A and B are shown apart, each in its own frame.
Chain A
Amino acid sequence: MTKHNHFERVVFQPQTYQGMQRGINAIANAVRPTLGPLPRNVAITKIKPHDQLPEMLDNAGLIARRVQQIAGRDEDAGAMFIRQLLWRQHENLGDGTATTAVLFQAVYNEAIRFIVAGGNAMLIRHHLETGMRLILDQLNALTIPVNDRATITQVAESVCFDPELSEILGEIFDIMGTYAQVDIRSGRSRDITREYVGGTVFEGGFHTQLMVNDPERVRARLENPAVFLSDLEINNPEELVSLVRQALDAGHTGLVVMARAFSDPCIGVLTSASRNPQRFNALAVKTPGTGLQEQTAFLEDLAVLTGGRTFLSILADSPKNVRLDDLGSARKVWADKEFLGVIGGQGDPIQIRQHVAALKRRYENIDDDDIRKLTLKRLGKLMGGSASLFVGGLSEIDINAKKEMAEAAIGAVRGALLRGVLPGGGAALLACKPALDELAAQTTDLEERVAYQVLSRALEEPARAILANAGYDPNVYLARIAEAGPGFGIDVRAGEVVDMVQAGIFDSAGVLLEAVRGAVSSAALALTVDSLVHKPRQKIANRP
C-alpha cells in the first residue's frame, strides 16, 4: 500500500464530467442490449471457479447489481450513481431498469455537452425537472386502466416474453387482484404450474407436533376456536390454566394460543386440555413474522381479522390478565410445521374493510421501501388467499432465471393494475415529444430551450434501443412511426408499424412513469456534480 492511499483525493473539472460520463456510459451500454422483446444477454463472469460458465442475464437491474466496482475511481463514481438508481427501480417495481438506464444516459450525455460549453447546470436541472413533470402529465393522460385478464397477460408478456408464464400470471392476478400474495417456488417438472391456498396464511407453524390431529397432512386443525394473540414467552403453566378455563367456560371447543415461545410445562397444559378432543382442542402456534416490526404488524392484522386483542411483551402483558372479550375467533385455524392458516376470522367485517382500505392508502403513498413491502405482504394476506407459482425448467440456472423473470413480471403487473398501462415499445414516450418541442419553440430562455430539447431527444432513445436490439435501423423505423402518428410503434416481432394499444403491446404505466421520474431527476442531479472527493480505498463491502 502506498502512502498517498491514506488521503482523500479531490477531482475537478473537466475530469469530473469526463470520468463520470465514462462510468455512466459503461453501465448504460452494458444493460442497453436487454431492452425490448428481443433482448440480448449479458454474460457475467464468475470470480471462481474459473471453469464455471458465466451467468447469462437479460435483466438490467440484476446486471447492474452484479457490477460492484469498475476501473477508475472517477468512472466508478458515475457507474455507482446510475447503478444505485437502477437497482432501486428493480427492487421497487421489478422492471423498467433498461428504460431508466437508456433515458438517464441520453439526458446526461446531451445535457453535459451544453454545460461543458458554458451552460448553467443548476438552471438546466431546474428546467429538466419542469419538462419531466410535463412528460409525466402527458403519460398520465395516455394511461389506460387495466381490469381484464387478457391485458394483464399482455403486460406480463411484455416483461417476461414467456407466453406460458404470462398466461398463469394473468389468471393469478385476475383472480386475486392487485395485492395478490404470490410465492415463487422451484417446480419439480419442466412446466410452470400454480396452486391457490384459501385463507390468511403466515409463516410460523405449530410449536409441537404433539398437537397434530390430521396425521396424513401432519397438520393441527381446529374449527371455531377462540384465539389468543401474543408475542409473549409463556413459561408459567398457571397463566395458561386460567386462559384454558376461560375458553372452556365460554363454551369454546378449541383454543389457539399464539406465543413466541412456550415452556415444556405450558405445552403440557395445552396437550392435557386436549385429552378429550371431541370436547376441547388446544393448539400452540408461533407468533408469525420475523423481527419486531413485522411481528407487530401481523399481530395487528390478526387482531382485526379475528376480533381479538394482542398481548405484547413490550407492554409486559400476561395471559393471566386475559378476559373473554380479549380472545378472537375464527371459523378454522390450521398449522403445520411451517405455516399457520386462519380462515374466516370473526372480526368486525366493517373494521376489516376499513383496515384493508387504510393499508391500501399506505401502500400507495409510502416512500419507505421496507414499509411498502411489508404493507404489500399484509394486504396480500388479508385478501383471502395466496397463490404459489411453481417454476420448472431444464436446469437450476434456467429455473432461477425464470424465477427472476417471474418476479419482474409480477412487479410490472402489479404496477399496471394500480396505475394502468401505456402504449408499449417506447410509443408512449414518443407521443410526449410534440408537447416538449412546442415548449422549446415558445421559450426565449436558452437553458430552458436546451433542457426541453434534451428531453425530447432522450424520449426517442428507448425506441431506438428496442429497434437496434431487434436488428432494425432505428432511423428508418422512427421516421415510419412518426409518420403513422401518436400511439404507433413497431411490433418488433412482426417488423410492422402498428397501433400499439390495438396490437396489445403495453408497458406498465407505473413502471414507465417511475423510469422517467428516476432517470430524469437523477440525471439532472448528476449534472450538478462539479467535483469529486475520493476517500481512501477500503476493502469493498458488498453493495446492495
Chain B
Amino acid sequence: MNDTNQIVDPVYNFAASPAFASDQIIFAARASGLYRSMDGGQSWQNAFDSLQSQEPIPASWVAVSPSFAQDQQVFAAVPGGVLRSEDGGQTWTVAMLATPTPFITALVISPNYAVDHLILAATMEDGVFRSTDGGAHWTAWNFGLFDLHIYCAVISPDFSRDQTVYLGTESGIFRSLNGGLGWREVDFSVEHAPVLSLALSPNFGQNNTLFAGTESAGLFRSGDGGQTWEKVISAEQVGSVSAVLNPKSVDVLVLGDEIILVSRDAGKFWQNWQDHLQFEDQLLCLAAPQGVESGAPLWVGLANGEIMQV
C-alpha cells in the first residue's frame, strides 16, 4: 500500500485518460477542487488554479472524453454547472444548469462522443440534464423519471447501437433506451433501494449483464438488462456499495464501506482485493484504468480526503 497524498476533503471520483498506460493522466474530483496527475498518480495539482478563484470550487464529478487523446476534453461538475476544458484541464469554460442550483452526482459521456457530442449529467434532486453539443448547453430531460434523486449513472459500451443508459436512484433503477430522452423504471425492488452504484459489463451489448450496488442491501447482478436480479454479495459482507467496476466481463471489483472485493468469475466467488488491507475512513470511489490484473494500478478515494494506490 502506497500512501500518496493526504488532503482533508473527500474524494468523490476519479477519471483516467483512455490512454492512461501511455499518458499517465488521471483526475480526481474532490471538495476542494479538481486534481490532475500527469505522472500516474505520483503527484497531484489543482486543475482549477487557472480559474484564480478566491474560494475553492468543489468538483463533485469528473469525466474524460472517450477521444481524449485527440480532443483533450475534460468535464468537471461544480455547483450549478459543468466546467469544460479542451486542453486537458488547463483552462476551463463554464456552462450553467437551470436554477435552483443542482448538485451533480455523475457525468456520463457517450462512447460515440466524437460523433454525437452527447453528455448526461445526473443530479441529486433535479433528475437528468442532457447536452448534445459537448456540454455547452444543458436541458433537463426527465420524462418518465418520477424519482429525480439520482446517485449514479452508467452508459452502455454499445451505446451507438442500443442507446442505453441506466440510473441508480433513491427508489431503484431507471433505464433509457433512447439516449436519455425518455426513462422507464426497471423492475428492481424498492426494498433494496437506494442504488448507489451501477456497472455494465464491457460486453453488455451481447450479455445484457449489469451490477447494482446498494446502500444497505448488498450487490445485485442482472443477466437480462435489469428484468430479473440476483443478490451476489450480502450487505453484511460489504456494507454500502459505493462503486462497482466491471472492466472485463469476468473481473468485477466492488468498493464497500471499508473493504474492496474482487471476483474473477463474473460475480460467483468473491475475495478480498488484498489481505490485511485496512482503511481509516469510508471508501468513496475507485479507479482501475488498466483493469484489475495483478500489478495494475488501483486507486481509492476516502471520505477523509486520502487518495491511496493499493
Closest to B176 in A: A175
Interface residues of chain B: helix, strand, loop or mixed (majority): loop
Given A147-B177, A383-B146, A384-B143, also A177-B190 (CB < 8 A): no
A224 within 8 A of B: yes
Q: Give chain B interface residues in 138-194, CB to chain A under 8 Å.
A: 140-149, 169-172, 177-178, 181-185, 190, 193
Residues of B near A352 (CB, < 8 A) are 146-147, 171
A149, CB-defined interface residue at 8 Å: yes
With A175-B178, A332-B100 in contact, do A353 and B185 touch (Cβ < 8 Å)? Answer: yes
Classify the interface of chain A: helix, strand, loop or mixed. Answer: mixed
Residue of B nearest to A253 (CB): B100
Write the A173-212 contact mask toward B (1 if CB under 8 angstroms, else 0): 0111100000000000000000010100000000000000
What is the CA–CA distance of A384 and B167 in the complex, to the nearest angstrom?
16
- Whether, in the assembled complex, B41 has its beta carbon less than 8 Å from a beta carbon of chain A, the answer is no
In Å, the complex CA distance between A55 and B145 comes to 43
Q: Is the CB of A175 within 8 A of B181?
A: yes
A133 proximal to B (CB < 8 A): no
* Chain A window 379-395, contacts with chain B (Cβ cutoff 8 Å), 1 for yes, 0 for no: 00011110000000000
Cβ contact within 8 Å between B170 and A349:
yes
Q: In the bound complex, do residue A176 and residue B99 qualify as a contact, i.e. CB atoms below 8 Å apart?
A: no
Complexed CA–CA distance, A354 and B142 (Å): 18
**Known: A353-B172, A384-B144. Is A174-B182 also a contact (CB below 8 A)?**
yes
The answer, yes or no, to whether A356 is at the interface (CB within 8 Å) is: yes
Report whether B182 and A198 are in contact in the complex, using a CB–CB cutoff of 8 Å.
Answer: no
The interface size bin for chain A is 20 to 34
CB–CB B169/A176 < 8 A: no
Q: Mark B231-248, 1 if CB is under 8 A from A, else 0.
A: 000000000000000000
Q: Are A353 and B144 in contact (CB under 8 A)?
A: no
Q: Are B143 and A349 touching (Cβ within 8 A)?
A: no
- Shortest distance from the beta carbon of B100 to any chain A beta carbon, whole Å: 4
Answer whether A344 and B99 are a contact pair too, CB < 8 Å, given A175-B143, A177-B143, A349-B170: no
Q: Is residue B126 contacting chain A, with contact meaning CB distance below 8 A? A: yes
**Does the CB pair A344–B125 fall under 8 Å?**
yes
B127 within 8 A of A: yes
Known contacts A174-B181, A344-B127: does B144 contact A354 (CB below 8 Å)? no
Q: Give chain B residues whose Cβ lies under 8 Å from the Cβ of A176.
A: 143-144, 182
B contact residues vs A (CB 8 Å cutoff): 99-100, 125-127, 140-149, 169-172, 177-178, 181-185, 190, 193
Whether A383 and B143, one on each chain, are in contact in the complex, defined by CB atoms closer than 8 angstroms, is yes
Cα–Cα, bound, A29→B100 (Å) = 60
Residues on the A chain within 8 Å of B142, using CB: 198, 384-385
* Given A177-B184, A344-B125, A344-B126, 12 extra CB contacts under 8 A: A175-B181, A177-B182, A223-B99, A224-B100, A331-B148, A349-B147, A349-B171, A350-B190, A352-B171, A383-B146, A384-B146, A385-B142
Q: Contact string, A339-359, partner B, CB cutoff 8 A, digits 1/0?
A: 000001010011011101000
List residues of chain B with CB within 8 A of the CB of A344.
Answer: 125-127, 148
CB distance from A132 to the nearest CB of B (A): 32
A384 and B178: CB pair below 8 A? no
Q: How far is the CA of A331 from the CA of B97 in the complex (A)?
A: 14
Bound state CA distance, A198 and B138, in angstroms?
14
Supply 19 A–B pairs (Cβ within 8 Å), ascending by A: A174-B181, A175-B143, A175-B144, A175-B178, A177-B144, A198-B143, A224-B100, A344-B125, A344-B126, A349-B146, A349-B170, A349-B171, A350-B170, A352-B171, A353-B190, A382-B146, A384-B127, A385-B142, A385-B143
Q: Within 8 Å CB of B169, what residues of A? A: 349
Which residue on A lies nearest to B182, using beta carbons? Answer: A175
Using Cβ atoms and an 8 Å threshold, which residues of chain A touch B170? 349-350
Cα–Cα, bound, A290→B182 (Å):
30
A223 vs B190: C-alpha distance when bound (angstroms)? 29
Complex contact A350–B171 (CB within 8 A): yes
Using CB atoms, name the residue of chain A closest to B169: A349
